[in-house]
Amino acid sequence: MAVMAGIRSPDIAPDYQNYIGWLEGVRNNNSFFDEIKDPLFVGLFLAVKELGFSDVLFFCLIAFLSLIFKYVFSRNIFDGKYCLGILFLILSRFYISHDFIQIRVGLAIGLSSVGLVFFYKARRALGSALYLAGIGMHMSVIIFSPIYIMLFFNIRHLSRRALACILLAALRI
């Protein structure tokens, strides 16, 4: 599945030319710090290219990591129960839209989701690192911040009104 998502072309993935143009522009102009958006994604691309590998390998790597983190999430969400069922549900809903087309957000959501689960399960340092890596991969996962803050302050039970306020605050971020 990762190879299928990684072998991209303009005919298959509409974002392909946009990604290549953006990333090659950053690489050729040495403008990493000018492109503050999604620094981990850009940094990983630059590292892969510096090692002499192709764009295809980079996209395969991103898709592979995304699938791995979705599997880790599925395995940890109910302590190993229903792992394959949960993974199937996630992939059937998000594989085409995230792992195949919007690869940055696919990996970012996987990283952040695993980070939040690990943080909840008292692996706070690793959970925080994965959540921050998700933000570095695609800034949109910052919308998970209210959940992260609730976990950070160990807030387990909230009224419906408080939950509604948190959801509204998340939409404003």
pLDDT 10s digits, 45-78 = 889 989 999 888 888 898 899 989 999 989 998 8
Per-residue model confidence (pLDDT) at position 22: 78
Q: What is the pLDDT of residues 87-122, one digit of tens each?
A: 878 777 777 666 666 788 889 999 999 999 999 888
**Residue 125 pLDDT level (bands cut at 50, 70, 90):** very high
From the list 107, 105, 109, 97, the residue with the least C-alpha distance to 144 is 109
The residue among 83 and 116 whose pLDDT is bigger is 116
**String of b and e for 11-49 (b: at least 16 CB within 10 Å)?**
eebeebeebbebbeebeeeeeeeeeeebebbbebbbebb
Instruction: Give the chain's length.
Output: 173
Per-residue model confidence (pLDDT) at position 20: 78
If one counts every other C-beta atom within 10 angstroms of the C-beta of residue 129, the result is 15
